[in-house]
Structure 1
Amino acid sequence: MGDVDDARLSRIITDVLEGETEKFAEIIRTYQKSIFHYCFHMLGDAGDAEDSGQEIFLKAYRSMGKYSREIPFGAWLYKIAYHHCIDVLRKRKLAKYLPFFYRDERQHRPVDWWVEENCFNEFVQRALAKLSAEERNLLILRCVEEKSYDEIGLILQQNNASLRKKYGRTAAKFRKYYAQEKGVEPYDIGQGSGSETTIS
């Protein structure tokens, strides 16, 4: 996100709602990069991500009157982005997704996911294709966007405990599917690679 603090953002939102619509451009500048990255991770295509970003901000602008200050503006915007991306995926039926990798599951600690930049692994794509769009969204928000469970809860309107359980189940499902596609045991996955970046 950009360098606009909460107080400044609140003032901008008020100004837009009071008719100073040109100030919505500052909201776009603040969130443009993060929304683009989110859409890219969900859709797997830079062109689609750019187009979707424009549509998302247009939808947000048209819906500003419905925004409730009881939740952070960013969470509200990500919720719009989530529903838009789901619509795109439903229409397209097939999408490419940024690969996820994780450490040896024999290590008794939370699952670590790995992202290999600019590399789309066919085994990872096949494994992710077996997950629902909602499950992929949870992984992207948590691992790529680095959202906290509290933030994700605001976006998906689910409680923290439920999300933690769903994340655990989704991680386990991904391990299983990826191992099947790779033709290895789950504990072999993630070994021998030195180029990944940790996403916690």
Structure 2
Amino acid sequence: MDKEQIERLVVEIKASGSLEGFGMVIEQLQQPIFTYCYHMLGHRQEAEDAVQEVFIKAYENLEKYTEVVSFSAWVYKIAYHHCLNLIKRKRIYRLVPFLNNRVPADDREEGAARVEQGQLTAPLHRALSTLSPEERNLILLRVIEEKGYEELSVLFQEKPATLRKRYERAMKKCKNQLISQKGGEMSEAFRLIR
């Protein structure tokens, strides 16, 4: 199903409220939204839960969707705000020790067992995790989803030139992080050779 078919289906769903039709939309967007949430949150279970919440919010707020941007871009915006709220909540729970038992432990050793989806490798995922959620969001939407600056400007409510500059800065940070990771591996390799 291409984007135009999804847009037509969403118009029909808005008119009828069909859950079956929305199920077809979910089938098309579920994996990309999961990949996005996974790379925003860094934890598989949290991403799976987030995807469910995002689609519930999308369905509940379907009447607010306008065709100014594509439906998928609108869902990504919901996913971004949902993930951002989860990230903020995690930070608050870390600051308040007695609330820690309500947050699932973020097991950093789980990295090997994580399911890597999409086009991102483990080193790139680690590099992205060092960026702010806003920078991560911009890179994921621009690179993975191939959103243009015009569409992103509608989503972010900023000028395309501003977003282009923010994207370039975020990519530079990401590249520097990848170089430092590789540099660490290289220095370790040289140490083992000697």
Check whether TM > 0.5.
yes
Q: For the residues of structure 2 that align with 1:36 and 1:4, how far apart are their CA atoms?
A: 19
- Corresponding residue SS for 1:158: coil
* Of 3, 13, 37, the match for 1:16: 13
Residues 34-93 of structure 1: per-residue CA shift (max 9 Å, x gap): 111111111111111111111000000000111112221111111111101101111112
Identity over the aligned pairs, expressed in percent? 35
Question: What TM-score comes out, normalization by structure 1 length?
Answer: 0.67
Match of 2:58 among 38, 57, 60: 60
TM-score, length basis structure 2: 0.69
SS of 2:16's partner is coil
* Structure 2, unpaired ranges of 5+: 95-105, 112-118, 187-194
Number of the residue aligned with 2:49: 51
Give unmatched runs, 5+ long, in structure 1. 99-113, 192-200
Closer, same or farther in 2 for the Cα pair 1:90/1:19, shift >3 Å? same
The residue type paired with residue 116 of structure 1 is T
Structure 1 residues 118 and 29: alpha-carbon distance in aligned structure 2, compared to 1, 3 A threshold: farther
In structure 2, C-alpha distance between the alignment counterparts of 1:120 and 1:73, rounded to whole Å: 26
State the match for 2:23 in structure 1: 25
Number of residues of Structure 1 aligned to a counterpart in Structure 2: 163
Change in CA separation of 1:171 and 1:71 when aligned onto 2, cut-off 3 Å: closer
CA distance in 1 between counterparts of 2:165 and 2:184 reads: 22
How far does residue 155 in structure 1 lie from its aligned partner after superposition? 2.7
Q: Are residues 20 and 144 of structure 1, via their aligned partners in 2, closer, same or farther at CA, if it must alter by over 3 Å? A: closer
